Chains A and B, each alone.
Chain A
Amino acid sequence: DAGVTQSPTHLIKTRGQQVTLRCSPKSGHDTVSWYQQALGQGPQFIFQYYEEEERQRGNFPDRFSGHQFPNYSSELNVNALLLGDSALYLCASSYGAGPQETQYFGPGTRLLVL
Chain B
Amino acid sequence: AQSVAQPEDQVNVAEGNPLTVKCTYSVSGNPYLFWYVQYPNRGLQFLLKYITGDNLVKGSYGFEAEFNKSQTSFHLKKPSALVSDSALYFCAVSAPFSGGYNKLIFGAGTRLAVHP
Contacts and interface: CB of A to CB of B under 8 A. Distances in A.
Interface of A: 4, 6, 31, 33, 35, 40-45, 48, 50, 55-56, 58, 90, 92, 97-99, 101-108, 110
A39 to B, nearest CB: 11
7 contacts: A42-B4, A42-B108, A48-B101, A48-B103, A92-B44, A103-B104, A108-B42
Interface of B: 4, 32, 34, 36, 41-46, 49, 51-52, 90, 92, 94, 96-109
B49 A102 contact: yes
B52 A99 contact: yes
A93 to B, nearest CB: 11
Nearest to A10: B41
Contacts of B49: 102
Nearest to B4: A42
Query: Which of A31, A105, A106: most chain B CB closer than 10 A?
Result: A105
